[in-house]
Amino acid sequence: MSPTDLGVVFFFQAFIIVGVSRAAAWVLKRLLDQPQVVGEMIAGVVLGPSMFGLLAPQLQQWVFPSESKPVLYVIAQLGVGLYMFLVGLDFEADHLKSNSKSALAVSLSGIVGPFLAAIAVTPWLLSLGLFERGTDVIEATLFTGAAIATTAFPVLARIIEERGLSKTALGALTLSAGAVNDAGAWAILAVVLARISGDFMLAAKAIVGGCIFLLLTVALAPKLLAPIGRFVERKGAVSNVVLCLIIVLFLLSAWAMDSAGLHSAFGGFIFGTAVPRGLLTREIKRQIEPLASALLIPVFFTYSGLNTQMRVVNSIDLIAVAAAILAVSVLAKGIACWGAARLTGQDAATSMGIGALMNARGLMELIIINLGLAKGIIGPALFSILALMAIVTTLMASPLFELVYGRRARASAKFGDLNSEVKHEAALAGARRGASTTAVDPTP
């Protein structure tokens, strides 16, 4: 397929992806009160071989030919990296400082609990032949632990944003724990891949490279970017030169994390936290967010959905295995994160809310299991079982969070600071609108 043909195919794919994603998000919001991101995730699976390919295989292959997958992959990586950069712009470091002990405890518990569960269930999965031949018990256990331990960092961020939690202590704590949790899972996955390839420099590069990037960004980037923030405040606008500079630095950050063997999402998020707050961050979000949310993120979900084949889980035995893995995954991670939050001083409702959100696995797990399938660690059946677990746990996250925390938080300010901070932001926005109206239409 020529580059011209790929361009023609992509524009039609984008038309289908955006239309189906918006329709699915609208339906799930109206029927199940699910956030937009869940609808986009389901749309990705619907457009893949699990549904579209099952009902109309030839048409699905025509819309999504295999030659177009590399194009979708690159755009998907740009989308998730850019979205996590925007999430980083909203990240409140002050909340993290006041809850750093809880964030670290939750993230570590969210890894340890699932790995203990993996030690228990992996021999059983090996006996069922769900791993590829040549995968030993250590590799299988590490991979299973990483798959169960991962948190849907981009999905988690979008749920937090849509529920009005971005600027709250709970939102900052959960995002921090999710970021550290996923970085740990990816580091462990790097060890598995290194063990299989025999090149342990891969694991060293991921762990050391990630730590160096984090330290340099946290220590130096805020100081280097502070003059830009002050310049923008003086001018009262973000020029094209400033916007391009920020985008270039974001791309460099995404490249650094991808090159280290982690993921562009981490680079985008970490750099976003270092950008000076104020007019600069508000204008960047205003100019970039619509395109990222409307087009790039749905492409990310669709690309992952194209690699998911639910029809492989086609027997009672495999359905039973899927149910067992789902139960073990939810209990291991949910209880571990809840317990860590409680032991570090969080109240019962906040701890349950954190446990519910951290249990969403979503597309970060789909990335991990796609790697496992491509590298010959797992077979198609286990891939589909883990993909199903990722979807179900993500679907559970939002309603479970509302049940254990969200509704009561909105009804009473004593459950965390969600209610007060959302009202405060609304009041500030109203004041700004009022001031703007007075400025352009003064009273005689």
The CATH number of whichever domain residue 362 belongs to comes to: 1.20.1530.20
Please check the confidence at residue 309 and state whether its pLDDT lies above 70: yes
- Residue 426 domain-assigned (yes or no): no
pLDDT-based confidence at 420, cuts 50/70/90? very low
- Residue 442 domain-assigned (yes or no): no
Residue 121 near residue 144, CB atoms below 8 Å: yes
pLDDT at 124: 93
DSSP class of 378: B
The count of other CB atoms within 10 Å of the CB of residue 204 is 14
With 0-12 / 13-18 / 19 or more C-beta atoms within 10 angstroms meaning exposed / middle / buried, residue 399 is middle
For 107-124, how does the pLDDT look when each residue is reduced to its tens digit (9 = 90+)?
899 999 999 999 999 999
SS3 content of the chain, % helix, strand, coil (to 5): 85, 0, 15
- Residue 422 domain-assigned (yes or no): no
Residue 96 near residue 173, CB atoms below 8 Å: yes
- Residue 270 domain-assigned (yes or no): yes
Please check the confidence at residue 326 and state whether its pLDDT lies above 90: yes
Q: What proportion of the chain, given as a percentage, has pLDDT over 70?
A: 87
DSSP string, 279-307: HHHHHHHHHHHHHIIIIIHHHHHHHHHTT
- Residue 418 domain-assigned (yes or no): no
Which residue in the block uniquely carries the two structure tokens 């970490």?
Answer: 270
- Residue 439 domain-assigned (yes or no): no
C-alpha 366/C-alpha 310 separation (Å) is: 13
Residue 379 near residue 132, CB atoms below 8 Å: yes
| Radius of gyration over every alpha carbon of the chain, rounded to an integer in angstroms | 22
What rounded mean pLDDT belongs to the chain? 82
The count of other CB atoms within 10 Å of the CB of residue 27 is 14
Residue 378 pairs with which residues in a beta bridge?
A: 131
Token representation of residue 396: 């559970």
Helix axes 316-343, 380-401, angle to 10 degrees: 40
For 54-90, how does the pLDDT look when each residue is reduced to its tens digit (9 = 90+)?
899 999 999 999 899 889 989 988 988 898 888 788 7
C-alpha 140/C-alpha 132 separation (Å) is: 10
Please check the confidence at residue 96 and state whether its pLDDT lies above 70: no
For 2-51, how does the pLDDT look when each residue is reduced to its tens digit (9 = 90+)?
888 899 999 999 999 999 999 998 998 888 777 777 788 888 889 988 88
pLDDT-based confidence at 410, cuts 50/70/90? low
- Residue 357 domain-assigned (yes or no): yes
Range of the domain at 319: 3-411
pTM across the whole model: 0.72
DSSP string, 128-162: TT-BPTT--HHHHHHHHHHHHH---HHHHHHHHHH
Distance of CA 128 to the CA centre of its chain: 31
Please check the confidence at residue 100 and state whether its pLDDT lies above 80: no
For 263: left if phi > 0, alpha if psi spans -120 to 50, otherwise beta; the answer is beta
Answer with the residue of higher pLDDT: 271 or 158: 271
pLDDT at 92: 66
Please check the confidence at residue 443 and state whether its pLDDT lies above 60: no
- Residue 441 domain-assigned (yes or no): no
pLDDT-based confidence at 154, cuts 50/70/90? low
Domain count, the chain: 1
For 188-221, how does the pLDDT look when each residue is reduced to its tens digit (9 = 90+)?
777 777 776 666 777 777 778 888 888 888 889 9
Answer with the residue of higher pLDDT: 353 or 313: 353
Please check the confidence at residue 98 and state whether its pLDDT lies above 70: no
Q: Three-state secondary structure along 395-431?
A: HHHHHHHHHHHHHHHHHCCCCCCHHHHHHHHHHHHHH
